[in-house]
Structure formats: structure tokens, C-alpha cells
Structure 1
Amino acid sequence: MIKYKSKRITLIVVSFLMMWACEKATPVADATPISDVDFAFLQASNKLFVSANVSSGYQGGTLDSAMVLWQGISASNSGDSLRLFDDGTHGDILSKDQIYSRKFLNDSALKNTIPTTAKDSIFFTILGLFSGKQQTVESIFVLGNIRPKLGSVFVPDTVTRPTANPDPNITNTVKFSVTASVSDPNGLDDIQRVFFLTYHVGLDSMMNGGNPIFLYDDGTGEGGSGDLQKGDGSYTMIISMTENATVGTYYWTFKAQDFSNAYSDTVKKVLVVQ
């Protein structure tokens, strides 16, 4: 009987200690007030987009403002301080959904622009100010594929169509070169093709059956594409215009495409055939 009472008392003491230990471990810290951070580089418009879900309050404080400290391609850069919005303006999509965002130009107004040669990571910090107290979340995003870029494009302003040859078995031609310089932050070997489309203004019609005319960086010289040095980013094509060419004004629209199927901005040139 004494042994039974001893075991019972011990059991009660152990149970009390376990309950005390569990009660001591129950406090839970507040969840972070900043989540779902997102970033996009809108290359076609050269704009940057940053967004984050920011709570309206945290640890008894209310949200005063949300900002992005934009550091660009280096975490050691001093950040550009830009306010984020949740009112449907400045690139914010929906008002009052607690997603604070901003769309801004990647231009000289920023200290930390993304250069055309960038291909690695970008860095920024989301900052929320809650009744004067700061909460921050640091973010790193990988840029991934960057579109190719067309540089200088040469097309003669005017080409004179050759006169007809009196011998019906011979067709007179005139030749001229078209060149385009192309760069790609992912490397020149990421360029899939460089081409132009030709459109006749007077006829309101695409020429060459609407098919692209390709330029090459193959170093085959005058006996081939006309390109002088392979792999230097300068793409060339020798154009042969016959006596049967249609005179008038042409728009030639140039593009470059990479192996991710991303296109460069277009460059339009005007050619007059007379």
C-alpha cells in the first residue's frame, strides 16, 4: 500500500512538471509582415517591377509606408530608395490588396541600373515602416535570359535599279551590303538568327513572300554572305537587285532572336529604289 501511494505521488509530480514545461514553451513570435516578394525585368519597355505583400500592422504598430531599396547587380551598392504603392498607380495592379508594388524605368534616374551586359543576379531589400519601426526582407533574383540587342544597322538610303540589258538572256544586277551589329549579355553564341522583313510602301505589301532575309556572321566574305570576320557580332548579307526590281520606297525592319526565342527591339530602315 505504501509503494502504491509512492508511485501515485511521483506520477502526479512528473505530470505537473510536464505541464509546466509545455506551458513555458507556448509563446509564438509574430510572423514576418513582409512576404511574397516578386521581381520582373520587362525588357521590351526597359522597366523594372517589384512587389511584396506587406501587412497593415505588426507588433502593435500600423504600416506607415513600404519601400524598395534597389541595389541592382551588387549587394554592396548603396540602394535607390523608391516608395511602393497599393493604390493602383505607379504599376500597382489592384488597390488596397496589401500587395505593394512599383514599376520604374531602368534608366539614368537610378544609381543602380541593370546594364545591357548583366546576366547574373540582382539585389534589393523591401522595407516596411510600422509606427516608426523598420522591418526588412532582403531579396536576390537571378536575371536569367536577357534579350539580344541590335546596335548599328547599315542600309543605303538609295539604290538605283540597273537598266535592262538588251540581251534577253542576261539580267543586269547591282549588289550592295547590309550589316547589323548585335550583342547579347548571354554571349554571342546565344544568338539564333538576325534578319529583316521588307515592305513596299506604295504597294502596301510585304515583299519576298513575307519571308525573312537572313544576315550572317560567318566570315565567308564576298563569295558568301559578305561578312568579313566570323564571330565578331557583325552580321552581313549581300543583296542582289536586278533590273526587274520594283521601284519605290521600302521599309526594312531588322530583328535579332536568341535561342530562348526572345527578340531584340526592332530597327526600321528606309530604302528608296529608283
Structure 2
Amino acid sequence: MQKTIAFFVLLIFLINACDNIPDSVVDPMEEELSASISVPAQLIYDGSDKELKVKASFSSSKNIKDTWFTVKYYDGSYNVASKVFMNDKGQDGDFLPDDNTYTGSINLTKEDPRGIYDVEIFLITDSDVIKKVSVSRVNFKNYEENIAPIISDLSAPDTIVVQSPKSIILLSLKASDQNGLPDIQSVYFTSTRPDGTSSGNKIYMNDAGKDGDYNAGDGIYSLIIEVTPSNQKGTYRFDFNAEDRSGAKSNLISHNIVLK
């Protein structure tokens, strides 16, 4: 009887021991990295392009496959660079090869609007995991004289005979800015109903190649609007305007559309 009990105790011990034996292949844990980031807090355009140099120094580069950074206006409305690769090869602005410091750069020019830009640094590990390393902000001071945008060449119907269930109106106009198209913050209109009332809300047009706009980035802003038989009949006034990133407003274009 004692031998039988001893046997079962030994068997239970062996089973538990086998449960604790690790697999023969275990994926190594990726090393946690610490990073020191160098991004200028301010750049000033004074007649020549300004280099935006970005550095990221890591505690180790053992598991780093690649690094890059992006630069965009803080509100996401303007993109300078979507993917600038950094290197640790002692070239293209990098001082020493294989010192765990990655470097990359781009130029900001007079065409880039003044204001705050976000610089985001990313890396991808050997196991193809993408990580955002940091976000820094750069104040770009462009001392080119600010000139208000100009709008022109409005395309809009004079009269619409409203059909059921709805009728489509395509509105488009040209916007230009001597400080460059990227300096245009928005193009919009407000409308006034036949009874003289208006919500005052700005309706934004786009130059993104959607919602009636044919070609993105060509300075032609467009929008499709819909009207139904329930809309008031009569004369609507549309007031078009544009605004740049410094708050300067364009000339005003007003246009009447009669709904029948």
C-alpha cells in the first residue's frame, strides 16, 4: 500500500514538472528602447531655405529595422513630408556610422506657411512592429510679407428648377495666394434664404479631389450641394470668401441662385 501511494506521488510530481518545462523555441522579448530626440524649436525663413534636421539617439539599435519622420501642420491641414527616412550610416548629415544616432533632414521654404509644425518620429522593429517614438513641435517663422488670398472664376448656376427627390448644384471657384497655395487655410461660403434669414454657418469647399472637386491641389475649390422640393423657393444669396493661415481674408464674391 505504501509503495502504491509513493508511486502516485512520484507520478504527480513528474506531471507537474513536465508542465513547467519551456518550449524549445521561445521568441525573445524585444528590447525596450530609450531615445533622446533633437528637433529645433524654431526655424526662421530669411530669404533662403531652412534645413530642418531631426536626430534620434537610441540606447540600442539591435532590433531597429528602420526609422523615419513626418512633418505636418499642427492641425493636419498641410503636409510637408509624409515619410523622411533617417540613417545611421555616417552620411547625409549623420556624423558617425553605427553609433545608434539616426539623422534625417528636409528644407522648409518660403512656400511653406508660417506656423507650428508637428515632427513625428517612427521606427519599425525587426519583427515589423511600428512604434511612434516622439512628437516635437517646430515654430516656423516665415517673414515673407503676408498677402491676402484672391478668389475668382466662380462657376455656379443662376437658376435651378428643383426636381424630386433632389437636384444637384456644383459650385466651384479659383483661389490664389502670392504666399503660395499652402497658405490658404480655407475657402467657404454662407447662404441667405429668400426670406432673408441665414444660419451664418460657413460651408467649406475643398481642393482635395472629392465632393465635386476634380483635381486635388490645383487651386480650384469645389462642393456639391443638394436641394429638395422642401427648400424655400425664391432667390438665395451665396457669399464666397477665403482666408489664409494668418487670418487675412480675400475679396468677397456674391452670387444669387433662384430656386424654382
What TM bracket, shorter-length normalisation?
0.3 to 0.5
Q: Highest CA radius of gyration, 1 or 2?
A: 1
Q: Normalising by structure 2, what TM-score?
A: 0.44
Q: Normalising by structure 1, what TM-score?
A: 0.42
